[in-house]
Protein backbone atom coordinates (compact mmCIF):
# COMPACT_ATOMS: atom_id res chain seq x y z
CA UNK A 1 0.00 0.00 0.00
CA UNK A 2 2.43 2.65 -1.25
CA UNK A 3 0.20 5.13 -3.07
CA UNK A 4 -3.21 6.27 -1.83
CA UNK A 5 -5.77 8.51 -3.49
CA UNK A 6 -8.84 10.32 -2.19
CA UNK A 7 -11.90 11.92 -3.79
CA UNK A 8 -15.13 13.64 -2.73
CA UNK A 9 -18.23 12.75 -4.72
CA UNK A 10 -21.85 13.89 -4.91
CA UNK A 11 -23.35 16.84 -3.05
CA UNK A 12 -21.01 18.87 -0.89
CA UNK A 13 -21.43 19.32 2.86
CA UNK A 14 -19.52 20.86 5.78
CA UNK A 15 -16.65 18.73 7.05
CA UNK A 16 -15.28 17.44 3.76
CA UNK A 17 -12.11 19.52 3.99
CA UNK A 18 -11.60 18.38 7.58
CA UNK A 19 -11.79 14.77 6.41
CA UNK A 20 -9.42 15.40 3.49
CA UNK A 21 -6.98 17.03 5.90
CA UNK A 22 -7.05 13.95 8.13
CA UNK A 23 -6.59 11.56 5.21
CA UNK A 24 -3.64 13.48 3.82
CA UNK A 25 -1.84 13.98 7.13
CA UNK A 26 -2.26 10.36 8.25
CA UNK A 27 -1.02 9.03 4.91
CA UNK A 28 2.01 11.33 4.92
CA UNK A 29 2.77 10.37 8.53
CA UNK A 30 2.99 6.77 7.32
CA UNK A 31 5.36 7.85 4.52
CA UNK A 32 2.80 7.05 1.85
CA UNK A 33 2.28 9.06 -1.28
CA UNK A 34 -1.19 10.58 -1.45
CA UNK A 35 -3.00 11.85 -4.54
CA UNK A 36 -6.12 13.94 -4.86
CA UNK A 37 -8.76 13.26 -7.52
CA UNK A 38 -10.55 16.41 -8.56
CA UNK A 39 -14.32 16.48 -9.27
CA UNK A 40 -15.13 13.05 -7.87
CA UNK A 41 -15.72 10.05 -10.10
CA UNK A 42 -15.81 12.32 -13.14
CA UNK A 43 -12.27 13.35 -12.40
CA UNK A 44 -11.30 9.73 -11.83
CA UNK A 45 -12.57 8.85 -15.30
CA UNK A 46 -10.84 11.88 -16.83
CA UNK A 47 -7.55 11.36 -14.98
CA UNK A 48 -7.68 14.66 -13.05
CA UNK A 49 -5.04 13.72 -10.46
CA UNK A 50 -2.94 16.06 -8.32
CA UNK A 51 -0.26 15.35 -5.70
CA UNK A 52 -1.13 16.29 -2.11
CA UNK A 53 1.22 17.31 0.68
CA UNK A 54 1.16 19.07 4.04
CA UNK A 55 0.68 22.42 2.31
CA UNK A 56 -2.59 21.07 0.88
CA UNK A 57 -4.00 20.82 4.39
CA UNK A 58 -3.14 24.34 5.53
CA UNK A 59 -6.09 26.37 6.80
CA UNK A 60 -8.85 24.08 5.51
CA UNK A 61 -10.30 22.41 8.63
CA UNK A 62 -12.78 25.27 9.12
CA UNK A 63 -13.79 25.68 5.48
CA UNK A 64 -17.04 24.36 4.02
CA UNK A 65 -17.21 22.67 0.63
CA UNK A 66 -14.32 20.62 -0.72
CA UNK A 67 -11.06 21.92 -2.12
CA UNK A 68 -10.90 18.88 -4.40
CA UNK A 69 -14.28 19.90 -5.88
CA UNK A 70 -17.14 17.49 -6.42
CA UNK A 71 -19.47 16.43 -9.21
CA UNK A 72 -22.17 13.96 -10.13
CA UNK A 73 -21.56 11.64 -13.07
CA UNK A 74 -24.11 9.51 -14.88
CA UNK A 75 -21.36 8.10 -17.08
CA UNK A 76 -19.66 6.49 -14.08
CA UNK A 77 -22.76 4.35 -13.46
CA UNK A 78 -22.21 2.69 -16.85
CA UNK A 79 -19.59 -0.07 -17.33
CA UNK A 80 -17.85 2.03 -19.98
CA UNK A 81 -17.39 4.85 -17.47
CA UNK A 82 -16.03 2.61 -14.75
CA UNK A 83 -13.64 1.10 -17.27
CA UNK A 84 -12.09 4.56 -17.67
CA UNK A 85 -11.85 4.86 -13.88
CA UNK A 86 -10.10 1.49 -13.60
CA UNK A 87 -7.64 2.58 -16.29
CA UNK A 88 -6.81 5.74 -14.30
CA UNK A 89 -6.21 3.71 -11.13
CA UNK A 90 -3.85 1.39 -12.99
CA UNK A 91 -2.04 4.16 -14.86
CA UNK A 92 -1.31 6.05 -11.64
CA UNK A 93 -0.49 2.85 -9.71
CA UNK A 94 -3.02 3.65 -6.99
CA UNK A 95 -3.08 0.90 -4.35
CA UNK A 96 -5.84 2.31 -2.14
CA UNK A 97 -8.74 4.67 -2.86
CA UNK A 98 -10.75 6.57 -0.24
CA UNK A 99 -14.19 7.69 -1.44
CA UNK A 100 -15.88 10.34 0.71
CA UNK A 101 -19.50 10.28 -0.42
CA UNK A 102 -23.20 9.71 0.20
CA UNK A 103 -25.13 6.50 -0.40
CA UNK A 104 -25.18 7.03 -4.19
CA UNK A 105 -21.45 7.64 -4.34
CA UNK A 106 -20.67 4.72 -2.05
CA UNK A 107 -22.84 2.50 -4.21
CA UNK A 108 -20.71 3.62 -7.15
CA UNK A 109 -17.59 2.80 -5.13
CA UNK A 110 -18.99 -0.67 -4.45
CA UNK A 111 -19.59 -1.23 -8.17
CA UNK A 112 -16.04 -0.06 -8.89
CA UNK A 113 -14.63 -2.39 -6.23
CA UNK A 114 -15.84 -5.39 -8.24
CA UNK A 115 -13.87 -4.25 -11.30
CA UNK A 116 -10.50 -3.18 -9.87
CA UNK A 117 -7.71 -4.58 -7.72
CA UNK A 118 -7.40 -1.25 -5.93
CA UNK A 119 -8.61 -1.46 -2.32
CA UNK A 120 -11.46 0.93 -1.59
CA UNK A 121 -12.64 2.44 1.71
CA UNK A 122 -15.82 4.52 1.83
CA UNK A 123 -16.34 7.42 4.22
CA UNK A 124 -19.98 8.46 4.85
CA UNK A 125 -20.94 12.08 4.31
CA UNK A 126 -24.51 13.33 3.99
CA UNK A 127 -26.62 16.06 5.56
CA UNK A 128 -29.48 13.54 5.35
CA UNK A 129 -27.62 11.11 7.66
CA UNK A 130 -29.00 8.20 5.63
CA UNK A 131 -25.90 6.01 5.20
CA UNK A 132 -25.64 2.54 6.66
CA UNK A 133 -22.69 1.58 8.84
CA UNK A 134 -22.47 4.75 10.91
CA UNK A 135 -24.60 6.52 13.51
CA UNK A 136 -23.68 9.87 11.98
CA UNK A 137 -22.40 11.00 8.62
CA UNK A 138 -20.16 13.99 8.01
CA UNK A 139 -22.15 17.20 7.52
CA UNK A 140 -25.33 16.22 9.35
CA UNK A 141 -24.63 18.05 12.60
CA UNK A 142 -23.72 21.30 10.85
CA UNK A 143 -26.81 21.13 8.65
CA UNK A 144 -29.01 20.66 11.73
CA UNK A 145 -27.43 23.69 13.39
CA UNK A 146 -27.87 25.77 10.23
CA UNK A 147 -31.55 24.83 10.08
CA UNK A 148 -32.10 25.56 13.78
CA UNK A 149 -30.48 28.98 13.44
CA UNK A 150 -32.84 29.78 10.56
CA UNK A 151 -35.87 28.52 12.51
CA UNK A 152 -34.95 30.70 15.48
CA UNK A 153 -34.86 33.78 13.26
CA UNK A 154 -38.08 32.89 11.46
CA UNK A 155 -39.85 32.46 14.78
CA UNK A 156 -39.18 36.14 15.60
CA UNK A 157 -41.16 37.17 12.53
CA UNK A 158 -43.82 34.52 13.06
CA UNK A 159 -44.41 35.77 16.60
CA UNK A 160 -44.41 39.45 15.65
CA UNK A 161 -47.03 38.90 12.96
CA UNK A 162 -48.87 35.98 14.62
CA UNK A 163 -48.32 33.83 11.56
CA UNK A 164 -47.93 30.17 10.66
CA UNK A 165 -44.61 29.37 9.00
CA UNK A 166 -43.76 26.20 7.12
CA UNK A 167 -39.99 25.75 7.03
CA UNK A 168 -38.79 23.23 4.45
CA UNK A 169 -35.48 21.46 5.00
CA UNK A 170 -33.68 18.93 2.81
CA UNK A 171 -34.51 15.24 2.98
CA UNK A 172 -35.98 13.67 -0.17
CA UNK A 173 -36.42 10.20 1.30
CA UNK A 174 -35.44 10.45 4.98
CA UNK A 175 -36.48 12.74 7.81
CA UNK A 176 -33.39 12.74 10.05
CA UNK A 177 -32.58 16.39 9.39
CA UNK A 178 -36.17 17.61 9.72
CA UNK A 179 -36.73 15.67 12.93
CA UNK A 180 -33.56 16.87 14.64
CA UNK A 181 -34.04 20.48 13.53
CA UNK A 182 -37.71 20.41 14.49
CA UNK A 183 -37.09 19.16 18.02
CA UNK A 184 -34.13 21.50 18.59
CA UNK A 185 -36.00 24.44 17.06
CA UNK A 186 -39.15 23.91 19.10
CA UNK A 187 -41.37 23.28 16.09
CA UNK A 188 -45.04 22.63 16.73
CA UNK A 189 -45.06 19.88 14.10
CA UNK A 190 -42.49 17.93 12.07
CA UNK A 191 -43.56 16.34 8.78
CA UNK A 192 -41.26 13.61 7.46
CA UNK A 193 -41.37 10.94 4.71
CA UNK A 194 -41.32 8.05 7.22
CA UNK A 195 -44.69 8.91 8.77
CA UNK A 196 -48.02 9.71 7.04
CA UNK A 197 -49.20 13.32 7.18
CA UNK A 198 -52.85 13.71 8.15
CA UNK A 199 -53.84 17.21 6.99
CA UNK A 200 -57.28 17.32 8.73
CA UNK A 201 -55.69 16.18 12.01
CA UNK A 202 -52.92 18.74 11.58
CA UNK A 203 -55.43 21.55 10.98
CA UNK A 204 -57.42 20.53 14.06
CA UNK A 205 -54.26 20.65 16.13
CA UNK A 206 -53.44 24.11 14.80
CA UNK A 207 -56.91 25.36 15.73
CA UNK A 208 -56.59 23.94 19.23
CA UNK A 209 -53.29 25.71 19.62
CA UNK A 210 -54.78 29.01 18.52
CA UNK A 211 -57.60 28.65 21.06
CA UNK A 212 -54.99 28.15 23.77
CA UNK A 213 -53.43 31.48 22.84
CA UNK A 214 -50.50 30.45 20.61
CA UNK A 215 -49.27 33.53 18.77
CA UNK A 216 -47.04 31.75 16.27
CA UNK A 217 -46.59 28.30 14.81
CA UNK A 218 -43.57 26.70 13.14
CA UNK A 219 -43.97 23.51 11.12
CA UNK A 220 -40.80 21.86 9.82
CA UNK A 221 -41.30 19.95 6.57
CA UNK A 222 -38.86 17.50 4.98
CA UNK A 223 -38.83 18.19 1.24
CA UNK A 224 -39.75 14.56 0.52
CA UNK A 225 -42.80 14.38 2.81
CA UNK A 226 -45.48 12.25 1.11
CA UNK A 227 -48.08 15.04 1.44
CA UNK A 228 -45.89 17.26 -0.73
CA UNK A 229 -43.32 19.97 -0.17
CA UNK A 230 -43.94 23.02 2.00
CA UNK A 231 -45.82 24.98 -0.67
CA UNK A 232 -48.18 22.10 -1.46
CA UNK A 233 -48.87 21.44 2.22
CA UNK A 234 -49.48 25.16 2.77
CA UNK A 235 -52.18 25.06 0.07
CA UNK A 236 -53.85 22.09 1.74
CA UNK A 237 -53.86 23.80 5.13
CA UNK A 238 -55.14 27.04 3.62
CA UNK A 239 -58.18 25.27 2.17
CA UNK A 240 -59.23 24.17 5.66
CA UNK A 241 -58.24 27.17 7.82
CA UNK A 242 -57.98 30.95 7.65
CA UNK A 243 -54.35 31.06 8.76
CA UNK A 244 -51.88 33.55 7.33
CA UNK A 245 -49.30 31.11 6.03
CA UNK A 246 -45.73 31.83 5.01
CA UNK A 247 -43.29 29.34 3.52
CA UNK A 248 -39.52 29.41 3.87
CA UNK A 249 -37.35 27.03 1.85
CA UNK A 250 -33.91 26.76 3.41
CA UNK A 251 -32.44 25.06 0.35
CA UNK A 252 -28.74 24.79 -0.32
CA UNK A 253 -27.63 26.99 2.55
CA UNK A 254 -27.92 23.78 4.59
CA UNK A 255 -25.00 22.33 2.62
CA UNK A 256 -22.65 25.24 3.23
CA UNK A 257 -20.86 26.97 6.06
CA UNK A 258 -18.07 26.25 8.48
CA UNK A 259 -18.45 22.78 10.06
CA UNK A 260 -19.33 22.43 13.73
CA UNK A 261 -16.83 21.04 16.22
CA UNK A 262 -18.72 17.73 16.14
CA UNK A 263 -18.40 17.45 12.36
CA UNK A 264 -14.71 18.41 12.43
CA UNK A 265 -13.96 15.72 15.01
CA UNK A 266 -16.07 13.09 13.24
CA UNK A 267 -14.51 13.90 9.86
CA UNK A 268 -11.02 13.72 11.36
CA UNK A 269 -11.72 10.38 13.04
CA UNK A 270 -13.17 8.83 9.89
CA UNK A 271 -10.38 10.21 7.67
CA UNK A 272 -7.62 8.82 9.88
CA UNK A 273 -9.55 5.56 10.32
CA UNK A 274 -9.93 5.12 6.56
CA UNK A 275 -6.17 5.45 5.96
CA UNK A 276 -5.32 3.12 8.84
CA UNK A 277 -7.82 0.56 7.54
CA UNK A 278 -6.06 0.54 4.16
CA UNK A 279 -2.66 0.25 5.79
CA UNK A 280 -3.88 -2.80 7.72
CA UNK A 281 -5.08 -4.49 4.53
CA UNK A 282 -8.81 -3.74 4.64
CA UNK A 283 -10.53 -3.46 1.29
CA UNK A 284 -13.99 -2.65 0.04
CA UNK A 285 -15.32 -1.45 3.39
CA UNK A 286 -17.16 1.58 4.73
CA UNK A 287 -15.86 3.12 7.94
CA UNK A 288 -18.31 4.53 10.45
CA UNK A 289 -18.72 5.48 14.07
CA UNK A 290 -21.22 3.34 15.98
CA UNK A 291 -21.80 3.82 19.71
CA UNK A 292 -18.70 6.00 19.85
CA UNK A 293 -16.36 3.45 18.25
CA UNK A 294 -14.96 3.24 14.72
CA UNK A 295 -16.06 0.12 12.87
CA UNK A 296 -15.65 -1.30 9.38
CA UNK A 297 -18.62 -2.76 7.50
CA UNK A 298 -19.04 -4.23 4.05
CA UNK A 299 -19.12 -1.39 1.52
CA UNK A 300 -22.56 -2.35 0.23
CA UNK A 301 -24.03 -1.81 3.73
CA UNK A 302 -23.65 1.92 3.09
CA UNK A 303 -26.51 2.00 0.59
CA UNK A 304 -28.35 -1.28 1.29
CA UNK A 305 -28.99 -0.80 5.00
CA UNK A 306 -30.01 2.77 5.79
CA UNK A 307 -30.13 3.62 9.50
CA UNK A 308 -33.51 3.63 11.20
CA UNK A 309 -35.16 6.80 12.43
CA UNK A 310 -34.87 7.26 16.19
CA UNK A 311 -38.41 6.48 17.39
CA UNK A 312 -37.66 8.01 20.77
CA UNK A 313 -36.98 11.30 19.00
CA UNK A 314 -40.20 10.90 16.99
CA UNK A 315 -42.11 10.41 20.25
CA UNK A 316 -40.35 13.40 21.79
CA UNK A 317 -41.39 15.60 18.87
CA UNK A 318 -45.01 14.51 19.36
CA UNK A 319 -44.93 15.13 23.13
CA UNK A 320 -43.41 18.60 22.81
CA UNK A 321 -45.52 19.76 19.87
Listed range (61-65, 77-81, 160-164, 180-184) with the worst mean pLDDT: 160-164
Which of 95-99, 212-216, 217-221, 311-315 shows the lowest mean pLDDT across its residues?
A: 212-216
The average confidence (pLDDT) of the chain is 95
Mean pLDDT of 113-121: 97
pLDDT of residue 243: 85
pLDDT of residue 209: 86
Label residue 103 by pLDDT band (50, 70, 90). very high
Q: Of 110, 112, 118, 68, whose CA–CA distance to 93 is shortest?
A: 118
Q: What is the CATH number of domain 3-139+259-304?
A: 3.40.50.450
State yes or no: pLDDT of 215 exceeds 80: no
| pLDDT given at position 246 | 95
pLDDT at 213: 82
Identify the pLDDT of residue 231: 96
The reported pLDDT for the residue numbered 2 is 96
- Residue 279's pLDDT band (cuts 50, 70, 90): very high
The mean pLDDT of 211-235, rounded to a whole number, is: 91
Note whether 285 and 297 are within 8 A (CB): yes
Which pLDDT belongs to residue 30? 98
**Confidence band for 282, pLDDT divided at 50, 70 and 90:** very high
The Cα–Cα gap between 48 and 68 comes to 10
Residues 8-52: pLDDT tens digits? 999 999 999 999 999 999 999 999 999 999 999 999 999 999 999
pLDDT in tens, 128-145: 999 999 999 999 999 999
Where are the chain's structural domains?
Answer: 3-139+259-304, 141-255
Range in 4-8, 69-73, 112-116 with the lowest mean pLDDT:
69-73
**pLDDT at site 72:** 87
pLDDT recorded at residue 242: 84
Whether 3-139+259-304 and 141-255 share one fold: the answer is: yes
The verdict on whether 12 is a catalytic residue reads no
Q: What is the pLDDT of residue 214?
A: 80
Predicted model pTM: 0.95
Percent of the chain with pLDDT over 90: 89
pLDDT the model gives residue 26: 98
* More confident position, 243 or 180: 180
Q: Is the pLDDT of residue 251 over 80?
A: yes
Q: What's the CATH architecture for 141-255?
A: 3-Layer(aba) Sandwich (3.40)
Residue 321 is predicted with a pLDDT of 80
- The rounded percent of the chain whose pLDDT value lies above 70 is 100
User: Could you say which of 128, 130, 141, 300 is catalytic?
Assistant: 128
Amino acid sequence: MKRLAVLTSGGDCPGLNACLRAVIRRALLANREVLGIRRGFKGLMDGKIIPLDYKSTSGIINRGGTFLLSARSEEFHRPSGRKKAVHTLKRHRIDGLIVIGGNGSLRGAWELSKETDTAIIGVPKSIDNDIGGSDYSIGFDTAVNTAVEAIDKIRDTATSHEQLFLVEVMGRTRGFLALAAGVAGGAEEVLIPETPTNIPKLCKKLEEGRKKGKRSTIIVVAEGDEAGGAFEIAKKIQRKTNYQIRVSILGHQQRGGSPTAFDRILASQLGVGAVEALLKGARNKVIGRVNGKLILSSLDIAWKKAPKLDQNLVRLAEILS
